[in-house]
């Protein structure tokens, strides 16, 4: 697991850059207790390990 610090942005971009699939943004959100993919301010996030088999896209309601 990796930890990064970002200033704003969104989880879609981070998932694409770090996990190779923007639809896996929900994995980052769940790991960090987030529900909104849009980030504001400086945020420290934990990133899950890359898993090409992992699904993504829609958070559980």
Q: What gap in Å lies between CA 9 and CA 50, rounded to an integer?
A: 20
Which band of pLDDT confidence, cut at 50, 70 and 90, is reported for residue 43?
very high
Quick one: average pLDDT of 18-30?
95
Q: What gap in Å lies between CA 44 and CA 47, rounded to an integer?
A: 10
Q: What gap in Å lies between CA 32 and CA 46, rounded to an integer?
A: 6
Q: How many domains does the chain have?
A: 1
pLDDT at site 22: 93
Structural domain of residue 32, as residue ranges?
2-47
- Give this prediction's pTM: 0.84
Q: Within a domain: residue 8?
A: yes
Q: For all residues of the chain together, what is the average pLDDT?
A: 90
Q: Within a domain: residue 57?
A: no
Q: Within a domain: residue 42?
A: yes
Predicted confidence (pLDDT) at residue 56 exceeds the cutoff of 70: no
pLDDT at site 55: 67
User: What are 23's two structure tokens?
Assistant: 């639809």
Quick one: average pLDDT of 41-46?
97
In DSSP terms, which residues pair with 3 in a beta bridge?
A: 46
User: What are 17's two structure tokens?
Assistant: 């850059």
- Side-chain-side CA neighbours of 16 within 13 Å: the count stands at 7
Q: Within a domain: residue 17?
A: yes
């Amino acid at each position: 697991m990796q930890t990064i610090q970002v200033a704003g942005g969104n989880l879609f971009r981070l998932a694409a850059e770090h996990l190779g699939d923007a639809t896996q943004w929900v994995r980052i959100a769940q790991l960090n207790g987030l529900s909104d993919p849009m980030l504001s301010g400086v945020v420290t996030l934990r990133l899950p390990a890359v898993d090409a088999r992992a699904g993504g896209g829609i958070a559980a309601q």
